[in-house]
Amino acid sequence: MNIKKNIIGIFIIALIVPPILAGLWIGICASFGKFGSISHGPVSLEPWGVLLTEPGFISSLSATLISGFLSTFFALSLALIGCYWFQTTYSERKFSRFLSPILAAPHSAIAIGFAFLITPSGWFMRAFSPWLTGFESPPQIITSNDKFGIALALGLAIKELPFLFFIAITALRQIPLSSQLKTAAALGHSPKMTWFKIIVPQIYRRIKLPIFIVLVFGISNVDMAIILGPTHPPTLAIMALNWFHSPQLEDIFPGSAAAISILIIAILSIMVWEIFVKYIGKAFTAWVVLSKRSSSMEHLFPIAKSLILLIVFCGITALLSLILWSFAWRWSFPNIFPENFSIANWQRAISNASSIIYTSTFIAISSATISLALVITWLEITRGKRLQKFEWVFYFPLLIPQIAFLFGIDIMLTHLGARNALFNVILVHCLFVLPYTLITLEHSWRNIDQRLIKTATALGLSPLRTLWRVRIPILLRPILIAFAISISVSIAQYLPTLFAGGGRVSTLTTEAITLASGSDRRVAGLYALLQIMIPLIAFTLASLIPLWVFQNRKDMHGGRA
């Protein structure tokens, strides 16, 4: 029995790890000039030479680093301090009402909306023109697509703040919060300083993994960088993508070098981050010992509060602007609202987009179902087992920059003769969906009241029936939420869809990003809205279904993800 479980567990791991390693290996080989039939001669450093001497490489590198670190640092510090505010003043419901749409929206949708807010002809400038600024034409200032990647960092922060925030709140539940706060208060510490000195480090320790995921995404993302990032030169990830898509065959080599360099940068960044935090931690400990019970640090709290409000405001207005654009006909500077409205965009979309909506939903439901089945199997067979130690490999796909191994996976799929593009997309999506399914479900699954399971077993239920009759019904709400999150992760995938689908699989996200590189903000906005709607429907169903199923069972409403 045990051996059987181990075999299943190893099998699940084998679904994830070998493809990624093989993908990486192909990329590394290509970065040294070895690639299938077209590699010429022995191992060569030339691709790396091409990369390093590419005009603007240094600017590209610095924009990559700035957008990665700035966004992570910004979103993280606001999330850590923001929890305080949430914990003391607001109910979860009230807060998540504003954060959920941003959380559910794919990165590219937020990017499209945010780009419109901040461009010199954008919504913010329109709100003050010409009555205050005197601008009849948009001013000559640099906002989006700035050289340093700051607009990109802000866009990323908008999207990552709610993510880190919810993660931090989950971590908060594992900390004996009220007793610690009470003890500190009894010793005369102000609640804010207690939060800062005692609680924040405890949360940080628990959410390291998500932080690294955010950091790696910030360094390597393509979806947001295409829309908000610098263009001349672009970030490294876009540079790599351009080489991969060049008509010159040899460009695969510098493209791979760029992709592998992103992997190296990601690894180094995590190390630098760790060292940095270690030293901050030391200084922090010294400061905690020496500082007063209340200090000027408390001023950070209202600043953080206004920044959080600003970020959430940007996210929500970005989404609102998409709604307006999708119904606009003409909307020119400096009008704050469209001159005229039209439903023509929607009419055209209904006839053209229905098959794309269908494809996206099909991919999302398939990959979410596969991931959920694998995760439940994994959680069941690893209960109290050593195998659990290997769980971190599931986060591989999120910790390794996508672009470093997707090209290799694509080549591998072609070699294996896997030519059903839709099938390939679903499989590759699973790599990125599964870790999120696991992260959302793991905690509630493992912390279920064991007495219920024991009772069921004592009453003679087989393990399978216990799973089916006891565990799943009790955990219905977290399971459905994990499923909804999986759907939203799948809907948002851009690069995996592009590579695994060979461009033949159009989803709402590939469509929205392609359209964002065109001239019609109305259609781009519309597709971005459609991108958000599917996850929102999924989340709504996830919260309604348990209420309906358990309408006569009051105690079953409380289960948390």
Partner 1 sequence: MKFSILAILAMGASVPAFADWAETVEAAKGQTVYWNAWGGDQRTNDFIAWVSDQTEELYDVKIEQVKLTDTAEAVSRVISEKSAGNLDEGTVDMIWINGANFLAMKEQDLLTGPFVEELPNAKYLDLSPTSAASIDFTTPVEGYESPWRLAKFVFAYDSARVSDVPASMAEFVQWAEAHKGRLTHPTPTDFMGATFLKQALVELAPNKDALQTMITPESFTENTAPLWEWYDALRPNLWREGQAFPDNQSVQQQMLNDGEIDIALSFDPASTASAIEQGLLPDTARVFVPENGSIGNISFVAIPFNAANSEGAQVVANFLLDPATQAHMQNIEVLGSYSVLDPTKLNQEEAEMFDALPTSPALPSVSDLGPTLLEPHSSWMTRLTEEWAKRYTN
Interface ranges with partner 1 (CB under 8 A): 35-38, 55-56, 59, 119-121, 137-138, 140, 142, 145-147, 230-233, 242, 244-249, 252, 329-330, 332-333, 342, 348, 352, 410-411, 414-415, 419, 421, 502-504, 506, 510-511, 513-515, 517-523
**Shortest distance, CB of residue 503 to partner 1, whole angstroms?**
5
Q: What is the DSSP letter of 299?
A: G
Tokens 């390291």 appear where?
208
C-beta closer to partner 1: residue 107 or 197:
107
Which is it for the CA torsion 431, 433, 436, 438, positive or negative?
Answer: negative
Tell me the helices (H) and strands (E) count for the chain, helix number first.
26, 2
**Shortest distance, CB of residue 328 to partner 1, whole angstroms?**
8
Q: Amino acid identity, residue 466?
A: T
- Rounded Cα–Cα distance for residues 83 and 324 (Å): 32
CB within 8 A of 237, min separation 6: which ones?
A: 64, 219, 220, 221, 222, 225, 258, 262, 401, 403
H/E run at residue 318:
helix 300-327
The number of CA neighbours under 13 Å toward the Cβ of 187 is: 12
C-beta closer to partner 1: residue 222 or 479:
222
The phi, psi pair for 493, rounded to 5°, reads -65, 125
C-beta closer to partner 1: residue 272 or 323:
323
C-beta closer to partner 1: residue 163 or 527:
527
The number of CA neighbours under 13 Å toward the Cβ of 305 is: 13
**Shortest distance, CB of residue 343 to partner 1, whole angstroms?**
13
C-beta closer to partner 1: residue 18 or 36:
36
Q: Amino acid identity, residue 174?
A: Q
**Shortest distance, CB of residue 511 to partner 1, whole angstroms?**
7
Both structure tokens of 245? 């898509």
445 and 499 in contact (C-beta within 8 Å)? no
**Shortest distance, CB of residue 455 to partner 1, whole angstroms?**
55
C-beta closer to partner 1: residue 334 or 473:
334
- Rounded Cα–Cα distance for residues 163 and 99 (Å): 9
- Rounded Cα–Cα distance for residues 25 and 8 (Å): 26
C-beta closer to partner 1: residue 190 or 342:
342
**Shortest distance, CB of residue 260 to partner 1, whole angstroms?**
18
The three-class DSSP label of residue 561 is: coil
Least Cα distance to 197 among 74, 281, 89 occurs for 281
**Shortest distance, CB of residue 407 to partner 1, whole angstroms?**
9
**Shortest distance, CB of residue 400 to partner 1, whole angstroms?**
22
C-beta closer to partner 1: residue 60 or 466:
60
C-beta closer to partner 1: residue 421 or 549:
421
**Shortest distance, CB of residue 246 to partner 1, whole angstroms?**
5
Least Cα distance to 83 among 192, 165, 181 occurs for 165
